[in-house]
Structure 1
Amino acid sequence: MTGLTSEERDLLAPVERATILARTLDWAAINSGTGHIEGLAAMARQLAEAFAVLPGEVRLVDPAPVDKVDSQGHAREVVHGRHLVLSVRPQAQRRVILTGHMDTVYPADHPFQTCRWLDENRLNGPGTADMKGGLSLMLAGLAAYERSGATLGYDVLINSDEETGSLSSAALIAELAQGKLAALTYEPALPGGQMARARPGSGNYAVVVHGRAAHAGRNPEEGRNAVLAAGDLALRLAAMRRPGLSVNPARIEGGAPNNTVPDLAILHFNMRPATPELAAEAQADIRTAVAEVSAAHDVHMHVHGHVSRPPKAISAGTEALYGMVSKAAADLGQPMSWKDTGGVCDGNNIAACGIPVLDTMGALGGSIHSPDEFLLADSLDARARLTALVLRRLDRHGVLPA
């Protein structure tokens, strides 16, 4: 840590791993799968109590309404947990936003519910890397920053639905991102400290296909097979793949008994465009494919969904932010690099607001979204120090072009 001033060394000295790790273990013991509303409520209470040590107002915000197509082809409202917002020095002229999520991909009945040590540094557990370790170190970094005569204002947003696309928190993300100098998001970095650079966009869709039922033996020609039409559409969507665009037909629901021409099917698919232009082109291609398949099979189709995660491009401001953070990491003895990735997160939404964002500021770890998920314990205090140092340098100097 040769690049630090004496004041910066004093700022970072109190940061210690044990407290951050203990908090991570406590939070990982709470199941907060996106659909587990009671678990999310318990997690939100824990977070509200923990973040209340910072000099700001903590509030819980109700989720925006979200519909999802069910197995019968009907749009039903999906219940989500509340989102946590902390506002510190809201009147400050220079402000940043820090974001994370309290939900995990593990539902209440998933067998992966406890933590265990794989070795002296690797902790295997649900949400340890993604991202309860990240939330815990974010808090430690903010607490350290506040000891430095802090003047920078900031909002902290911890949503309850990131793992399913942040549909109930997207408007809140956009509202809080406006006017910010920069954004830090606490998704996990890779074990070597590699950070995410550009990201594609992402959209989840459900196409409801209504055909006509008929007896499969007596009068099949009078039926209109919804499953067959959904399969035809799936093949056409898969054929849309090209450089910068992936389309993944994932599931077909519906159908009927073997002796009946099925009159209902629901095709679910995901689309990931690398640029807004590709997103617009793909949207037009989807409309064309739906119209052609509807006519060919004499069925009715309704498309539900959109690109909810805009593509994350790298602006000059983002380059400057990364340069500043990577310099701080180097001064702390933490090697850092970044590369483009195929994943998406709330950093996509923030970047779409024109705000420079670095979205892998969390714990180092791997195998996320699986029972093999792990974090590296020594990254907890290291990344907390990085957060504190980055905020102090933003406060004292700023890094971004006017």
Structure 2
Amino acid sequence: MTGLTPAEQHLLAPVERAPILAHTLDWAAINSGTAHLDGLATMAERLAGAFAALPGEVRLVDPAPVEKVDSQGRTREIAHGRHLVLSVRPEAERRVILTGHMDTVYPVDHPFQTCDWLDDNTLHGPGTADMKGGLALMLAGLTAYEQSSPTLGYDVLINSDEETGSLSSAPLIAQLAQGKLAALTYEPALPGGQMARARPGSGNYAVVVHGRSAHAGRNPEEGRNAVLAASDLALRLAAMRRPGLSVNPAKIEGDAPNNTVPDLAILHFNMRPATPELAAEAQAHIKAAVAEVSAAHEVHMHIHGHVSRPPKAISEQTEALYGVVSKAAADLGQPMSWKDTGGVCDGNNIAACGVPVLDTMGALGGSIHSPDEFLLADSLDARARLTALVLHRLDRNGVLPE
């Protein structure tokens, strides 16, 4: 490691891999799929106990109400786990926010539930990279930073619903992000350790189609086929794709026997606009397409959903934050680069609040969201040192422009 002052070397010396790995293994053994409320409650309590070692107040915050369209076209409330918040030095003039998530994509009945070692450095296991390893190294980095006579205040937010869009934690993210100097989010790094730069926005939608049932053989002309109308709309939405805008019709639900014209269908789709302007333009196209298909098929359509993850642009302050992190990484012998990505995360929500955010501060690994997910163990202590050094330099230097 080069470029470190004696004080910085002293700050980072206590960071060791073993306790970070122990936390990772302990937390990865808990199934905390977004819908597994008991597992999330266990995970939240385990995290609360671990983060209580830091100064400040740990609290568990109830989720905001969230509604979802069910298979019958009705909206119903979806239960979510509580979110963890740690506030340290809330009176500080300069404060940052660090965020992560406790939920994974693996439901309680998924076969991928345990960890094993593929080699001395590669830990295969559910949520190891995304992001229980990230949470563990965040804690270790903060613990090291607290030994440096810190003055920077911070909030830590670990939500329970990031993998499904953070709908129940979005108000909390916006509240805690306000007025922050910078934000660090612990999504896993991209392959090779690259950091994510710009991200598109994302919105999940459901269009409920009400037609009219009729006998498929005796009087089909009197029916209004909801599945056919939903399919027509899906094709029109898919045709909206162009550079900077992705539209993915993902599922059509309908329920009628083969001898009946179906009177109900639900089309689910995802939209990812690269800019706010494209988001507004696409929203207008969706509205127009729904009106056209409704008239053509003589059905009634109702749209649920919106762009819940705003596009994440790169501001001058974001570039400055990347410069701080990149310099710290280079001084630690961890040279890094960054590039645009098509994925979304809580960094989108934070950036929409006008706060510069670097949202791939977590562990290195790969094959996330699959039974092949793995973590590179040597990234745990390396990234913990990076966290501690970045916070120390933000505290001492205040290098971000106003």
Partner of 1:15: 15
The Cα offsets for residues 95-134 of structure 1, whole Å up to 9 and x where unpaired, read as 0000000000000000000001111111110000000000
- Where 2:401 maps in the other structure, the secondary structure is coil
Partner of 1:243: 243
CA contact (8 A) 1:191 1:376 kept: no
Separation in structure 2 between the aligned mates of residue 255 and residue 287 of structure 1, nearest angstrom: 25
Separation in structure 1 between the aligned mates of residue 118 and residue 192 of structure 2, nearest angstrom: 18
Partner of 1:313: 313
Partner of 2:127: 127
The Cα offsets for residues 328-355 of structure 1, whole Å up to 9 and x where unpaired, read as 0000000210000000000000000000
Partner of 1:302: 302
> 1:256: how far off?
0.7
- Where 1:370 maps in the other structure, the secondary structure is coil
Partner of 2:187: 187
> 1:255: how far off?
3.1
- Where 2:192 maps in the other structure, the secondary structure is coil
- Where 2:354 maps in the other structure, the secondary structure is coil
The 5 A counterparts of 1:47-86 are 47-86=47-86
The Cα offsets for residues 115-170 of structure 1, whole Å up to 9 and x where unpaired, read as 01111111110000000000000000000000000110000000000000000000
Partner of 1:35: 35
Separation in structure 2 between the aligned mates of residue 50 and residue 22 of structure 1, nearest angstrom: 12
The 5 A counterparts of 1:156-167 are 156-167=156-167
The 5 A counterparts of 1:2-401 are 2-401=2-401
> 1:52: how far off?
0.1
> 1:31: how far off?
0.2
Separation in structure 1 between the aligned mates of residue 358 and residue 398 of structure 2, nearest angstrom: 15
- Where 1:132 maps in the other structure, the secondary structure is helix
Identity %: 88
> 1:297: how far off?
0.1
Equivalent position amino acid for 1:147 in 2:
Q
Equivalent position amino acid for 2:280 in 1:
A
The Cα offsets for residues 244-299 of structure 1, whole Å up to 9 and x where unpaired, read as 00000000001310000000000000000000000000000000000000000000
> 1:192: how far off?
1.4
Separation in structure 2 between the aligned mates of residue 201 and residue 301 of structure 1, nearest angstrom: 24
Equivalent position amino acid for 1:146 in 2:
E
Separation in structure 1 between the aligned mates of residue 189 and residue 6 of structure 2, nearest angstrom: 28
> 1:190: how far off?
2.4
> 1:398: how far off?
1.3
CA contact (8 A) 1:227 1:255 kept: no
Separation in structure 2 between the aligned mates of residue 70 and residue 398 of structure 1, nearest angstrom: 49
- Calculate the TM-score normalised by the size of structure 2: 1.00
> 1:191: how far off?
3.8
Separation in structure 2 between the aligned mates of residue 88 and residue 199 of structure 1, nearest angstrom: 29
- Calculate the TM-score normalised by the size of structure 1: 1.00
> 1:399: how far off?
1.7
Separation in structure 1 between the aligned mates of residue 190 and residue 325 of structure 2, nearest angstrom: 16
Runs of 4+ displaced beyond 3 Å: none
Separation in structure 2 between the aligned mates of residue 191 and residue 70 of structure 1, nearest angstrom: 37
Stretches of structure 2 that go unaligned for 5 or more consecutive residues are none
The Cα offsets for residues 150-197 of structure 1, whole Å up to 9 and x where unpaired, read as 110000000000000000000000000000000000000024110000
Separation in structure 1 between the aligned mates of residue 46 and residue 198 of structure 2, nearest angstrom: 33
The Cα offsets for residues 283-337 of structure 1, whole Å up to 9 and x where unpaired, read as 0000000000000000000000000000000000000000110000000000210
